Amino acid sequence: MSRVAIKVLTTVTAPYGGSLSAHDLAGRIADPGSAERCDPLVFAFFSEVSPGLQQAFIDEMHVDPTAARQVAARFSELAGYSLPFVSECRLAA
């Protein structure tokens, strides 16, 4: 597992315990249902992981950045405050 994935997974799972693979998290951060289910691990990704590390994880895991930004935007609406990924995401060409 890469250093990026280890840092991200440590950050998002620390408050909740349990185990989650990098591939599982990658799928969740691009899944609109994650926001509707209020998935705490996905919310932790968008709220607790630094924007640069979020972007590195998304790039490394080949997550669709547009889908991830839509999920982050929905979490931002639900939380009532702006999450960094919504405005700082660089869209891959």
What are the pLDDT digits (tens) for 16-33?
Answer: 777 899 999 999 999 999
What percent of the chain is predicted at pLDDT more than 90? 74
Q: In the chain, which ranges are continuous DSSP H helix?
A: 3-13, 22-29, 32-36, 40-48, 51-60, 65-79, 84-88
| pLDDT tens profile 53-73 | 999 999 999 999 999 999 999
Rounded mean pLDDT, 49-56 = 93
SS3 22: helix
Separation of alpha carbons 43 and 35, rounded Å: 8
Q: What per-residue string of b and e applies to 7-20 under the rule 16 or more CB within 10 Å gives b? A: ebbebbbeeeeeee
Count other C-beta atoms under 10 Å from residue 65's C-beta.
19
